[in-house]
Chain A
Amino acid sequence: MEILNSTLVSLFNSAIPANEHLRKGLGDLIKDKRFPEIDNLIKELLNNHEEIMSYINKIISHKKPYEELDYKDVIDQIIMKYGKSKCLLFTKDLSSFCSKAYFSNPVVLKSYELLLNSKQKEDILNVEMDKSIFSSLIKK
């Protein structure tokens, strides 16, 4: 059964939206290319927060198709319905999921140049600059 339904895509897009560097939010990135590890994490999230997830589904179904989902608005509604402490457990797990899914995505890593190439690393680490610091340290 498909686990990544439109509710989840909208929720994940609202958590980490598209921006000027990357024109896709987290939900669309997950939809574009599926990774088994991420699917497992989605299943875990769904299993652990079944009730809240179905409530989010309800919130989204009341939205008009052109209306953008606002993350803060969703969280406020969950707090109103379930209280702060239950919502906190959910947002903690959701934060962990979003961090893992977003920053393990090769498109994300490339778009933000999160992993530098050898030349970039060499230039930034600048061992020559260290050498002069070390030589004055030894002379002290």
Chain B
Amino acid sequence: MELYDICIVGAGASGLASAWYLSDKGLNVAIFEQGEALKIDSLVSLEDGGELQKTKELNPNPNIRKSHSDYQIDTSNSPIDIANFNGIGGSTVLFSAHYPRFKPSDFNVFSEDGVASDWPLNYADLKPFYELNEYHTGLAGLMGDPQYPDVIPSMPPVPLGPMGRKLAKGFESLNWHWWPAYSAINTNNYQGRPSDDYNRPSNMGDFTGSRGSVDNTYLPKAVSKGLKIKENCQVIKLIPNESRNSIEFLNYKDQAGNLHFCSAKVFIIAASGIGTPRLLLSSKSQDYPNGICNSSGQVGRNLMLHPLGYIEGRFPDNIYSNLGPQGCCLLSQQFCKSNSKNGFYRGYTFQAIRGPLPIEAAINLLNSKQIELGKNFINNFFSKYNHTAHLAVITEDLPEASNRVILDPNDQSSDNLPGVKINYKLSENTKKMLIHGLGNGRKLLKEAGAIKTVAFGPIRYTGWHTLGTCRMGNDPKNSVVNKNGKTHDFNNLFIVDASIFPTSGSVNPASTIQALSLYIAESIFLKYKNLLSN
């Protein structure tokens, strides 16, 4: 039987960060990934019609992509579909690379606003790990942001472009906060990786290595320290020992369909806010009828998805809105804090995003009946394409026990595990926040010179950020892991992904996911040394 010091399940943002940290400390680490690495030669250049791949093999929705490593997610009880990528690098392979940190107040939501809960750790605990993570990933941005006074980017910001400059003028005119985006995209050569040439949107895979996806950053460093990659190996169950205090084995299936057992001193789960509860719930047995780590009944609950709204503003001139890195342009945190006048708790971030490429733009314009096929299609298309500025509202979704990931016993078709379903409803708080954001977004775009604006949300295909389904807390009665990521129920089982977030912040979570993973990896190495010694 295979035996390692550390077994990690999931080679995405959090799994590979921990894998690097622990391999670097000389530990014998294996990482299990149900998918494989995205092969560069499978990517088609945009000149050769590569955008078409975004509608199938590079589609972020696993229910559309249907690769051999994907499992279907039933979202019929949710206004938002799940977006991810199952393979080496996880969802960072297709991420937009927007990379802001959470702010200190994001860790103290209950103390500040009397809702949700505080994290059992604070910003100061994570700060050194944000810095370590930004060093390894590379951060483009601008120092001096009043919202993030201690962030020191290692590279200049990504270009604003004509669209960003228009929007910046609007923010200035309203005297609202704005700042160039924090991006995990190289604007200089960085640690042997080149500067981005903006030839390809950041969410369509990477030819060059210029983006800070984990297959470019932590993976090669971890492999050089001896990390063993078990690709196309799907972990199907975690098996506790007889005394019920530790995990003894994991059971996995290789690409040929053969089942294996593997043992380790420490097990780390890093399979996302959907995959992690799915694995824990699927590991049920006679002794654990509700799945493992679930003595609190919290596994799968409190799903937060950052519901997004979009505001589009049409400009008379060509503002080349699709030029530049897709998800990164500028952000505004004018409305990220609670304000008693707003009628809701917490707030939202504005994120300017680049427009879609022509296939996606045409489909969106046709579906929304802004243009139609026929004689005037081309003229109408080009009067709108690249003339439209795009702004996203990212709402701070608060945890609700009824928003949850559950197993779907009726669906056994997608792989070896039971099917997975999400039950998710927008809370009244989030709805009010979204409406507020859409209104302010229109105001901003008009101020920036838009002649027409449209606003809509929540956007169905944007469930990238799956947070909160195995939450962290001090009390084992209402949380799944402690402040060091250790599960309350087992001595040697840790979780490092976004499922442990008690609250969601209002920015893309990748930076916080990875900082938290490094923090937990250090805790394992320093505070739980005894687990590794025998």
The interface of chain A, by Cβ under 8 A from chain B, is 14-17, 19, 21, 35, 37, 70-72, 91-92, 94-96, 98-100, 102-106, 109-110, 112, 114-116, 118, 121, 124-127, 129-130, 133-134, 137-138
Whether the Cβ atoms of A125 and B142 lie closer than 8 Å is no
Task: Tell me the complex Cα distance, A110–B179, Å.
Answer: 35
Contact residues in B for A95 (Cβ distance below 8 Å): 362-363, 366-367, 373
As a 0/1 sequence over residues 362 to 373 of chain B, the CB contacts with chain A under 8 angstroms (1 = contact) are 110011000001
Q: Which residue in chain A gives the minimum CB-CB distance to B198? A: A121
Whether the Cβ atoms of B373 and A104 lie closer than 8 Å is no
Whether the Cβ atoms of A125 and B324 lie closer than 8 Å is yes
What are 11 sample pairs from A and B whose C-beta atoms fall under 8 A apart?
Answer: A16-B373, A21-B378, A95-B367, A100-B55, A103-B358, A109-B47, A110-B47, A116-B323, A124-B162, A126-B159, A137-B142
The residue that B46 contacts in the complex, of A35, A99, A105, A109, with Cβ under 8 A, is A109
What is the total number of residues of chain B having a CB less than 8 Å from a CB of chain A? 42
Q: A103-B362, A114-B358 are in contact. List 7 more A-B contacts (CB 8 A).
A: A72-B374, A96-B363, A103-B358, A106-B48, A130-B159, A134-B157, A137-B142
Cβ of B206 under 8 Å from chain A? no
Whether the Cβ atoms of A134 and B180 lie closer than 8 Å is yes
Closest CB in chain B relative to A119 CB, distance in Å: 12
Task: Tell me the complex Cα distance, A43–B180, Å.
Answer: 45
Task: Tell me the complex Cα distance, A16–B374, Å.
Answer: 6
Closest CB in chain A relative to B376 CB, distance in Å: 9
Contact residues in A for B162 (Cβ distance below 8 Å): 124
Of residues 27 to 55 in B, which have CB atoms within 8 Å of A's CB atoms?
A: 46-52, 55
Whether the Cβ atoms of B142 and A138 lie closer than 8 Å is yes
Q: Which residue in chain B gives the minimum CB-CB distance to A129? A: B165
The residue that B144 contacts in the complex, of A103, A118, A138, with Cβ under 8 A, is A138
Task: Tell me the complex Cα distance, A138–B156, Å.
Answer: 13
The residue that B374 contacts in the complex, of A71, A92, A102, A103, with Cβ under 8 A, is A71
Task: Tell me the complex Cα distance, A14–B168, Å.
Answer: 42
Contact residues in B for A104 (Cβ distance below 8 Å): 49-52, 359
The residue that B377 contacts in the complex, of A16, A37, A70, A124, with Cβ under 8 A, is A16
Contact residues in B for A126 (Cβ distance below 8 Å): 159, 161
Contact residues in A for B274 (Cβ distance below 8 Å): none
Task: Tell me the complex Cα distance, A103–B46, Å.
Answer: 10
If over half of A's interface residues share one DSSP class (helix, strand or loop), that class is named, otherwise mixed; here it is helix
Contact residues in B for A110 (Cβ distance below 8 Å): 47
Closest CB in chain A relative to B361 CB, distance in Å: 8
Contact residues in B for A130 (Cβ distance below 8 Å): 157, 159-160, 164-165, 180
Contact residues in A for B377 (Cβ distance below 8 Å): 15-17
Known: A94-B373, A125-B323, A130-B159. A100 touches B52 (CB 8 A): yes
Cβ of B288 under 8 Å from chain A? no
Contact residues in A for B197 (Cβ distance below 8 Å): 118, 121
Task: Tell me the complex Cα distance, A105–B46, Å.
Answer: 10
Closest CB in chain A relative to B491 CB, distance in Å: 50
Whether the Cβ atoms of B362 and A102 lie closer than 8 Å is yes
Cβ of B320 under 8 Å from chain A? yes
Cβ of B110 under 8 Å from chain A? no
Task: Tell me the complex Cα distance, A15–B372, Å.
Answer: 9
Cβ of B341 under 8 Å from chain A? no
